[in-house]
Amino acid sequence: MSIHYYSTNRNLINVSGITPFTGLVSFKEALLTGQASDEGLFVPDSIPQLSLADIHALKDKPYRSTALLVAQAFLADEFSADVLDSVVRDAYNFPVPLEEVYPQTFIMRLDQGPTASFKDFAARMMARLMSHCRPQGERLNILVATSGDTGSAVGDAFRGVSGIDVTILYPVLEVSLRQKKQLDTIGGNVQALSIHGKFDDCQNLVKQAFSDPELTKFNLTSANSINFGRILPQIIYYVYAYAQLASAGEQMVFSVPSGNFGNALGCEYARRMGLPVARLIMPTNENDEFPDYLKTGIYQKVSPSRACISNAMNVGHPSNLARFFELYGGTVDRSGLVHLYPDLAEMRRHIFSVSITDEKTRKTIKNTYESYGAILEQHGAVGWAGLEVYKNLTADTHLAVSLETAHPAKFPEEIEKLLGFIPELPASMKGIDGRQGRAIVMANNFPDFKNYLQNNLKIKE
Ligand SMILES: *Cc1c(COP(=O)(O)O)cnc(C)c1O
């Protein structure tokens, strides 16, 4: 049975400004277009099942074995086993530590990839899948606007991937020196443009390029975070953790520090594929729209979003909430307007959420280090604090895994203030300060940008 993808906005027939997309697309189409024409998110129309026997058979096997099992479950119709095998081998060449903090309770470190962020997991697999579905003999040109971290994870993920070139636009005045260095020096098929403007200006330049008919010959595509190609890889590490840690049929709890909810959505799909997940814990920072919704049944986005120290989670209306609502029978659009509420009782049965203040986050970093010797940065600390709240409230004793989503060495100021030392960079990030590269500096002006694209992008392989 093949899986197709539909839009979360397909039922919004009487909503002004939305023309619902009611069709179905293949995974490849969803991957290359990113989102549906009605600005809804693509969702699979059926969810493949994994047997417990297949999952337990992954114990003590390398990460790529789990990756292959999950990838095949979704993609066997559209990619050969050989292609999928080479994609996951090439994408996952770094460790995925499961660190025991105290009995039955673990931290899964998703911070060992090339940019020391869990986003490496999704971006690296998506990049390699894209390379295998571009038109024969042609190039794909990815355009990304970034305010910092996502750009380097995406840029790095595509480095050296054949048939694809990447152009990253970043606002020169809004990124840190470290981030600028990261973006400027990726090299190879990845070029950074340093735009004299704000993040919104970068996004607008990219949007204009996508709708310019003179640029369509370049096969322009995006690699944004709502692409289903970035959700699928985020199912894998839940299955991996379960296979390594759980005994036959045991139930497990995961705590996932959440911003746009893409990471947590991976766990939701893993459960629906058959993984015995007792509860998905989705702690947020002070952007508390989702825990508030679970409490009150009324959804109200936080606007503008609140600036917390876990800044990759400063989201007042999570983009993947549309997929969560869809999975529980509801509909919410991109602006945060709810058209149909989901089954709240069912959601509460499977999901727990709590808002963690910055003060609590800092205390958690200090306490987990002092009590257990475990080093967390601010995003992972939100996850851990949420797990503690949940355990105190429910006395749940299931095997539990909390996710660390970035490496503590990426936040030297905060960690040094709390712990008195700066953790070492992971092997993958060492030497970054000495990397050479160049940014092309450009005014915030579409004709200049278009001119650059026409003179520099390639069409043929
Ligand atoms: C992006 C990010 C998150 C949030 O993940 P979502 O999938 O958006 O919920 C958490 N921590 C870090 C370090 C991130 O970069």
Q: In this prediction, what percent of the chain has a pLDDT beyond 70? A: 100
Report pLDDT digits (tens) over 326-385: 999 999 998 999 999 999 999 999 999 999 999 999 999 999 999 999 999 999 999 999
Give the pLDDT mean for 254-269.
97
206: CA distance to ligand 1 center in Å? Answer: 23
pLDDT digits 0-9 by tens, 70-129? 999 999 999 999 999 999 999 999 999 999 999 999 999 999 999 899 999 999 999 999
Give backbone dihedrals phi and psi of 99, rounded to 5 degrees, phi first: -105, 120
What mean pLDDT comes out for the span 29-49? Answer: 93
Mean pLDDT of 269-296: 98
How is residue 131 written in tokens? 């390379």
Instruction: Give the architecture-level CATH label for domain 96-116+229-416.
Output: 3-Layer(aba) Sandwich (3.40)
Residues touching ligand 1 (Cβ under 6 Å) are 117, 119, 149, 257-264, 312-313, 379, 405-406
At 425 the pLDDT is: 82
What is the Å distance from ligand 1's center to 187 Cα? 25
Neighbours of 97 (CB within 10 A): 12
Index of the ligand 1 atom closest to the CA of residue 258: 9
When pLDDT is averaged across residues 208-223 and rounded to a whole number, the result is 90
Closest ligand 1 atom, CA of 150? 15
pLDDT over 90 for what percent of the chain? 79
pLDDT, position 53? 97
pLDDT computed for residue 384 by the predictor: 98
Distance CA 213, CA 418 (A): 53
With cut-offs at 50, 70 and 90, classify the pLDDT of residue 222: confident
Mean pLDDT rounded to a whole number for the chain: 94
Beta bridge partners of 167: 143, 191
As a whole number, mean pLDDT of residues 273-283 equals: 98
Distance 172 CA to ligand 1 centre (A): 23
Q: Are 381 and 408 in contact (CB under 8 A)?
A: no
Whole-angstrom distance, CA of residue 32 vs CA of residue 133: 8
Task: Identify the pLDDT of residue 147.
Answer: 77
Per-residue model confidence (pLDDT) at position 257: 98
pLDDT at 203: 86
CA of 249 relative to ligand 1 center, distance in Å? 29
- Does this model's pTM top 0.85? My answer is yes
pLDDT of residue 313 exceeding 70, the answer is yes
Q: How confident is the model at residue 1 (pLDDT cuts 50, 70, 90)?
A: low
Query: 96: which 2 tokens?
Result: 């995925």
379 Cα nearest atom in ligand 1:
11
Q: Which atom number of ligand 1 is nearest to the Cα of residue 380?
A: 11
Quote the ligand 1 centre to 99 CA distance (angstroms): 20
Q: What is the per-residue pLDDT for 242?
A: 98
Distance in angstroms (rounded) separating the CA atoms of residues 92 and 111? 12
Instruction: Quote the pLDDT of residue 236.
Output: 98
Three-class SS of the chain:
CCCCEEECCCCCCCCCCCCCCCCCECHHHHHHHCCCCCCCCEEECCCCCCCHHHHHCCCCCCHHHHHHHHHHHHHCCCCCHHHHHHHHHHHCCCCCCEEEEECCEEEEECCCCCCCECHHHHHHHHHHHHHCCCCCCECEEEEEECCCHHHHHHHHHHCCCCCEEEEEEEECCCCCHHHHHHHHCCECCEEEEEEECCHHHHHHHHHHHHCCHHHHHHCEECCCCCCHHHHCHHHHHHHHHHHHHCCCCCCEEEECCCCCCHHHHHHHHHHHCCCCEEEEECCECCCCHHHHHHHHCCCCCCCCCCCCCCHHHCCCCCCCHHHHHHHCCCEECCCCCEEECCCHHHHHHHEECCECCHHHHHHHHHHHHHHHCCCCCHHHHHHHHHHHHHHHHHCCCCEEEEEECECHHHCHHHHHHHHCCCCCCCHHHCCHHHCCCCCEEEECCHHHHHHHHHHHCCCEC
Which of 423, 400, 315, 413 lies closest to 362, judged by CA?
413
Ligand 1, atom 1, residue with closest C-alpha: 312
Residue type, 280: L
Tell me the C-alpha to C-alpha distance, in Å, between residue 109 and each of 187, 380, 392.
Answer: 27, 9, 24
**Atom nearest to 261 CA in ligand 1:** 9
The minimum-distance atom of ligand 1 relative to the CA of 257 is: 10
Q: How far apart are CA 454 and CA 457, in angstroms?
A: 6
Q: Is the dihedral of CA 415, 419, 424, 428 positive or negative?
A: negative
Q: Which of 120, 263, 310, 377 has the most ligand 1 atoms within 8 A of CB, as the residue to mutate?
A: 263
Banded pLDDT at 207 (limits 50, 70, 90) = confident
Split at pLDDT 50, 70, 90, the class of 322 is very high
Which atom of ligand 1 is the closest one to the Cα of 234? 7
Which pLDDT score, from 0 to 100, does residue 199 have?
85
Ligand 1 centroid to Cα of residue 380, in Å, is: 10
Give the Cβ contact number of residue 435 at 10 Å. Answer: 12
Res 159 pLDDT > 80:
yes
Q: Averaged over 121-140, what is the pLDDT? A: 92
Which atom of ligand 1 is least distant from the CA of 149?
15
pLDDT value for 176: 77
* pLDDT at residue 421, rounded to an integer: 94
To test the pocket of ligand 1, the residue of 110, 115, 117, 384 to mutate (highest count of ligand atoms within 8 Å of its CB) is 117
Q: What's the 53 CA to ligand 1 centre distance in angstroms?
A: 31
- Sorted by where each begins, the domain ranges of the chain are 96-116+229-416
Which protein residue's CA is at the shortest distance from atom 14 of ligand 1? 312
**In the prediction, which pLDDT does 286 show?**
97
**Amino acid (1-letter code) at residue 231:** I
CA of 312 to the centre of ligand 1 (A): 5
